[in-house]
Amino acid sequence: MASQRKPVVVVTGASKGIGLAVTRILLESLDAVVVAISRTKTAELEDLSKAHISTLSTVECSVADAKGLTEAMASAEKTHKHIDGIILNAGVLDPLGRIDSADVDAWKSHFDVNFFSLLTALKATLPALRRSELGGKVVFVSSGAAVGGTAAWGAYNASKAAMNSLCRTLAQEEPDVVSVALRPGMVDTGMQEALRSEGRAHMKEQDHTRFTEAYSSGKLVKPEDSGHVIAALALKADKSLSGQFVSWDSDLCAAYRKK
């Protein structure tokens, strides 16, 4: 007989943007228990925690803090007895700038957040994911930058490419855990706002214009739209997707989009 318990999902970068949308969808539409990890706790996340006292727990922790993140994952499993899915969403865009003037220390800090935190989270949760009778799932929130090459985005391009590579390797090493890297599209978040206001100083004019025109023409993706795909994959991603880099609006993700 199938287990009737609620699935337990850990979400990083849960205080705003895609992470907040995913957390809300897991709680309100997909009947999951959520452990939300974020560097700070926004008013929106605070309101969500008050509305879902028994199914949402929040942890203030930078994902670059390996000790803190490991302890947060251990506490999540101890509290809820299970971890069935993790959504690795926390990330930064900075530093922007050309490679010939790169601040190497800033790149290292970027990789601490966008890449090495993934390793920390996986090491801390893989035992629980393997044990999950619901089937362990890992969703890496990636980007088209992983296969693109936007000028001045060197650190971000590289870290998202490394994320996709990690996803592929994880799928080979952990056949009983489904691992998917997802491109969420050009989402209407604070990162997009920062690109429009600050990106011109670093980016090629045509690249900056692409982002400003997407905003002005209403073409940005709503966090709830690609967020629903991310949330659904964390609960029921098919094994055929494991190791793949997929776009939220592709045919492969049709079954996970909001009906």
- Residues involved in catalysis: 142, 156, 160
For residue 254, give both structure tokens. Answer: 């049709």
Please, what is the angle between helix 43-51 and helix 17-28, to 10°? 10
Which has the closest alpha carbon to 22: 45, 51, 4, 39? 45
SS3 labels along 177-192: CEEEEEECCCECCHHH
DSSP letter for 222, please: P
Tell me the three state secondary structure of residue 221.
Answer: strand
Residue bearing tokens 């690609």? 226
* Angular region, 32: left φ>0, alpha ψ -120 to 50, beta rest: beta
* Rounded-to-integer distance, Cα 116 and Cα 183, Å: 19
